[in-house]
Amino acid sequence: MTRVNTYLNFQGQTEEAFTFYAKTFGTEITVLSRYSDVPAMGPGAVPADEKDLVMHAELPILAGHLLMATDMLRSMGHETRVGNNTTLCLDVDDKEEADRLYGALSEGGSEGSPMADMPWGAYWGVTLDRYGIRWMINHTTAS
């Protein structure tokens, strides 16, 4: 299903913020996975003091809109700042559309992770467009 979600980045406050938002919107967190829930990805394994941070959370809010979030990792040089704390996440139906959108949005932009297969089962990438807006493109094959 194609949809647009808002993805938020926090510096160790995802769980606290989503608990607050769940209470505010009268809903429940539907997904909460921690870095310790995912196998280590190469030499950049997550340090012990960051393993319990939130890797991915989802919270439905209004009219089917989904908030998603992660805790950024200081060990990877990530720092939350205005400009990287909010991302539009595009979930698309196929890899070709994911590649097309990534290519168009990254043209003239900067900072990014190219589209690639991820250990959690998605085809995923992120880019900062020429206007300073962060876009995450995601395709997950139906299982």
**Over pLDDT 70: what percentage of the chain?**
94
pLDDT for residue 41: 61
CA-to-CA dists, residue 16 to 27, 31, 60, 75, angstroms: 15, 14, 16, 21
Tokens linked to 118 = 């991820």
What is the set of domains in the chain, with CATH numbers? 7-87 (3.10.180.10), 92-143 (3.30.720)
pLDDT at res. 113: 92
Q: Residue 119: how many CB atoms within 10 A of its CB?
A: 10
| Phi, psi for 40 (deg, rounded to 5) | -55, 140
Task: Judge whether residue 5 has pLDDT over 80.
Answer: yes
**What is the pLDDT at residue 110?**
83
Q: 123-140 pLDDT, tens per residue?
A: 999 998 887 888 999 999
Burial (CB count within 10 angstroms: exposed 0-12, middle 13-18, buried 19+), residue 4: exposed
Q: Please list, residue by residue across 31-52, b when 16 or more beta carbons sit within 10 angstroms of its beta carbon and e when fewer do.
A: ebebbeeeeeeeeeebeeebee
* pLDDT bracket for residue 6 (50, 70, 90): very high
Are 112 and 128 within 8 A, CB to CB? yes
Segment 57-109, tens digit of pLDDT: 999 998 889 999 999 999 888 888 877 788 899 999 999 999 999 999 999 98
